[in-house]
Amino acid sequence: MADADRGLSEKLAAFLPPALLVFFAAAFALPTDPAYALVFYALVVVPALACLSRLPGLGRPGPALAMLLIVWSGLTVLWGHDVGHRALRFGVDSAMTLVFLLAMLAGLAEPAQRRRLMGVLIWVGAANAILSLVLGEVHPLGGERLHGWGATSHPILGASVMTIPYLAALFRTLAERPARWWHLGAAVTMAVFIVFTESRGPLLAATIATMFLCAAGPWRWRALVILAGVAVAWRLLPDGVRAHHAAVLVARGSSHRFEIWHRTLQMIGEHKLLGNGLAANLDLPGYTFPHDLYLSVLFYSGAVGFALFLGLAGQVSWTLWRERGDAAWLWLVALWMNTLLSGLTDLGQITKGPGPMWLIFWLPVGLVLSGGSGRAQQPGALGRQPGIGPGTVGGEAVA
């Protein structure tokens, strides 16, 4: 019986990496949020739980802080406000976020798994962007701002989500030897998607992450060529198009962010230590959440949750700094920059999902914590390895 149980566990463990790839692809490919959430419940949950006994190092600072943050976030529904009787739903969301983190730690630790993930993200992201641009032109969805599919259906969150495969495509364009210029085409398509969402915070975050990625690696001449091409393409656009987008970005002003943040700080002051709970809403007409990652953590989870969040963010940042000798990690640094910068003007509950926050926040966290778990010291792992050889990144083939 023990051998049979072990055999089943091994089969489920082997099934987990492709199940995760299907889930990430579904997030970009399926047209609605509930559809790709069902993919997670059906394909990922059981294999992830079966792999718990195989996960080494859960007591390390990074995974431990991540798990404590998720658990604390879920526990806030016990004492926080429950607007609309949503506490149970948010509690389940937190539990599933924990399963998702464990699934990434178990299923994305190997270099081959991470390479496949990057490739899947590029192609499904580009397909999502192309389809969204076509449908946005033929059938405008709710005004002039572009909406996508599934995890990209909201213009603000969608822009932050789309930045993930965009940075993957840009990284491969810059790093591969020889160059595979269809990755540049995918990156350009997704960049157009991000611009047409007219979401200023995500656009700023994507721009800074792009500048970092172009400047930080040993591929600056390629980056200069690409950036020069972007500048020329922008100048070739009709004056009316450039003026329209600039006017739209300016016309929205602060989008009431200062009023939202002011009321958020007031409500944080009323529940400083333990927070208002995941099921709480801002009591501000028309606005239910803080529209800021950092204020959201304080608002929902209090000082305790914020301390755990800062500890996790510091651990992720330290891991990236420690692995800075490997060019393959520059994509993860750029992803993490996108998360931290886009969170300045948007984002809400970090344990709400399956949904965009799993991609914007937890995917970079999971990739860093799984890849930075000591495997960097092992031969053939994605970690501290010198240089970029032909057709490789950090000593690993990226095709």
- Spatial CA neighbour of 275 closest among 295, 305, 296, 300: 300
Identify the pLDDT of residue 104: 92
The DSSP secondary structure of 168-179, one letter per residue, reads: HHHHHHHH-SS-
Identify the pLDDT of residue 346: 79
- Spatial CA neighbour of 114 closest among 320, 332, 318, 323: 332
Task: Say which DSSP state 362 is in.
Answer: I
CB–CB of 278/80 below 8 Å? yes
- Sorted by sequence, the CB contacts under 8 Å of residue 305 that are 6+ apart come out as 69, 72, 73, 76, 275, 297, 298
pLDDT averaged per 10 residues, the chain (length 399): 60 85 92 85 89 75 92 90 80 92 89 90 93 69 69 88 93 82 87 86 89 80 70 60 58 70 86 87 78 90 94 93 79 92 84 89 92 41 33 38
Identify the pLDDT of residue 197: 85
The strand pair at 392-393 and 396-397 is best described as antiparallel
Identify the pLDDT of residue 317: 93
Identify the pLDDT of residue 312: 95
Identify the pLDDT of residue 5: 54
- Spatial CA neighbour of 99 closest among 360, 277, 358: 358
CB atoms within 10 A of CB 224: 12
Identify the pLDDT of residue 223: 72
Identify the pLDDT of residue 252: 60
